[in-house]
Structure 1
């Protein structure tokens, strides 16, 4: 499977295990959730409430809110500003933002 992005060669980084929509992956601990999504060729992290169109990380700096995901049962987490951590459970969100 091809990926959208490739990571640059950097100093070795510890790996953590995260589950993205039920698929377990090992990613460097310095990644954000958005980086893990993009590297894994699964950039859609939510769908729009009106048309159901897929949305994914866009600005990568916490401004646009297109990268909202559910993390460990908490909805509306910005994937681009949240670092991965071992055991994290990430799920795509469908439709409009939800209250916890």
Structure 2
């Protein structure tokens, strides 16, 4: 980790991301571009859609707080992110 990068954990996997990126971007980086953040009630995969906090498809659990909008939340050092995509 340097001054321009930080470490966070996504679904029990520690990753290094550039400082200033959103959690949604970090998830995309960690998942090789397949940014599954949750599953719909019927089991369909869901991922960020609008990128501006309107659609709520990017909801994840951040540091134990459920339903956080990953597209509107900047990464912080040591942050713990859980996606239902990672649990599925």
* TM-score category of the 2 structures, normalised to the smaller one: 0.7 to 0.9
How many residue pairs get matched?
Answer: 81
1:1-16 correspondence runs (5 A): 14-16=4-6
Where structure 2 has 5 or more consecutive residues not aligned to the other structure, the ranges are none
TM-score (norm 2): 0.85
The counterpart of 1:63, out of the listed 54, 68, 73, is 54
Larger radius of gyration: 1
Determine if contact 1:71/1:89 at 8 Å carries over to the other structure.
yes
- Which one has the bigger helix percentage? 2
SS in 2 for 1:34: helix
Offset of residue 54 of structure 1: 1.1
Where structure 1 has 5 or more consecutive residues not aligned to the other structure, the ranges are 1-12, 95-100
The counterpart of 1:26, out of the listed 9, 12, 16, is 16
CA RMSD of aligned residues (A): 1.4
TM-score (norm 1): 0.76
The counterpart of 1:44, out of the listed 36, 47, 52, is 36
